[in-house]
Amino acid sequence: MTSAPVSIEACRAQIAAQIQAYRDLVGAASKASGMSLVRIDAALAAFEPAFFNNLLVALDARFAQRPAAAGPSSEVRLLAASLLHGGGVLAADPAIPYDADASLLRLEVGERVALNGDDFEAWCAAFRSDRSRGV
């Protein structure tokens, strides 16, 4: 089965809608809950990395056919592979170039991947820039 090329604009719109849904959830929870703020903060802190890690995997899947090359696209691929197959711990892959010092999150191999909203939005900006250069 051959899939249609990924529309960059459609991808941007879908990702932006998911980020906005998360931000709306955080805002509503902080205003409307009868729970203590400590419990709300703890619930959101547990939910945030799970949500944004999964969103990163979804972002990577949209561009699965791209070649491995240095830069944000390869870093997204490595992070997604680590989330899917490495238990959420960043694992090296000889087929995917990675330099922790030049990376966006500056994670070392062996560290846990736990994205937050700001991390993910930075990824989206870097990934779009990388994709616009054809990487």
Q: How many CB atoms lie within 10 A of CB 82?
A: 23
Q: Which residues span the domain enclosing 103?
A: 8-132
pLDDT digits (tens, 9 = 90+) for 65-115: 766 566 778 888 899 999 999 999 999 998 888 889 988 889 999 999 999
Amino acid at position 69, single letter: A
Is a pLDDT exceeding 80 seen at residue 120? yes
Rounded (to 5) percent helix, strand, coil in the chain: 60, 0, 35
Asked if the structure places residue 82 within a domain, the reply is: yes
**Sign of the torsion formed by the C-alpha atoms of 8, 10, 11 and 15:** positive
- The contacts of residue 61 (CB under 8 Å, 6+ apart) are 80
Which residue is it, tokens 């994670």? 107
Which residues, in sequence order, are bridge partners of residue 89? 112
Arithmetic mean of pLDDT over the chain = 80
Q: Is residue 2 a part of any domain in this protein?
A: no
- Domains held by the chain: number: 1
Does 131 or 72 have the greater pLDDT score? Answer: 72
Burial of 120 (0-12, 13-18, 19+ CB in 10 A): buried
Query: Per the structure block, which two tokens stand in for 8?
Result: 């960059």
Q: Are 115 and 123 contacting, i.e. CB atoms less than 8 angstroms apart?
A: yes
1 within a domain of the structure (yes/no): no
122 falls within a domain: yes
pTM listed for this prediction: 0.74
- Whole-number pLDDT of residue 20: 86
More confident call, 13 vs 106? 106
